[in-house]
Amino acid sequence: MNKSIYYFSDKIENKYKVYINYDISEMILEKINYNLYQINLSKEKIKSKLKRYNKLLNLKSPKVFDTYILHKKKTYRKLLIKINRDRQTRYNILNNINIYDE
């Protein structure tokens, strides 16, 4: 058994005065890790898009195209901040709701 499973089950038992089987606590921890992985994956996707827009801004391009890139860059930056701060946005990521349309 993993020490984190014991730790998690003991914390739940002490806080809520309920006994949780170690197998159940292992499943819960796996789900938590998977959810964190999904959130981090979407953060990395947004960061890569931001890097791509930064590279495009560094190139010499027409002024009209610059405003579009700046707008998209600003949108993705706001979305990245929203993922870090807003709980509902993280729930939307886990429920496969499109967060880019907001």
Residue 99 placed within a domain: no
Residue 100 placed within a domain: no
Q: The domain containing residue 57 runs over which residues?
A: 3-94
Residue corresponding to tokens 């938590």: 32
Residue 102 placed within a domain: no
26-74 pLDDT tens trace: 888 899 899 999 999 999 999 999 999 888 877 765 666 678 888 888 9
Domain count, the chain: 1
For residue 7, pLDDT over 90 is answered with no
Residue corresponding to tokens 């993993």: 2
CB under 8 A, 24+ apart: contacts of 38-42: 38/93, 38/94, 39/83, 39/90, 39/93, 39/94, 42/83, 42/93, 42/99
Both structure tokens of 75: 């949108």
| Cα distances (angstroms) measured from residue 11 to each of 7, 49, 59 | 6, 39, 54
